[in-house]
Amino acid sequence: MKFILFLVSVVCVAPLAQIQAQDGESHKRIPVFFSCNCADEVGKLYATALRDLLAKSPRYIESASPDLTGGAVDGPPKLSIVVTSIDPTGDGRFMAHSEVGLLGASTYLYSTVGWCPKTEADHCAASTLAALDDQVHRLLDARAKDKSAK
């Protein structure tokens, strides 16, 4: 009988504890608002790939709207990525794009201009997330130094 109760508790209670732990972790993810003016074919692939990366990311979560404040100083930053892409040749083989990373809606973090072939849209999206991650690390390090100096 004890063995049956043990099995029931493992089968029923353990998954609930795991769901609660995962839910608690999702609150620690940094919200990122992603806006892509990407009407060209490669730009659409890139936008889809970046959204997929945000959905799978343990660190970031896509936000439905930008947070104009940038987040509390002690809390997680609220980030925005704004991308505009064009297909300069019109044949769908690559895109040229401009990308800006912001804290909130107005504090500049970084910008890049580049190009991306259709076959590398996933890699280009991963590069965007890596650039954002680098800036987030710098921002959080600066905050930690400010706190320790006080």
At 52-70, the pLDDT tens digits run 999 999 999 999 888 877 7
Q: Output the CATH code of domain 31-149.
A: 3.40.50.11830
In angstroms, what CA-CA distances link 92 with 17, 50, 112, 120? Answer: 48, 19, 21, 13
| pLDDT tens, residue by residue, 15-52 | 333 333 333 444 588 999 999 999 899 999 999 999 99
| Beta bridge pairs of residue 94 | 117
Please give the model's pTM, rounded to 2 decimal places.
Answer: 0.74
The mean pLDDT of the chain is: 80
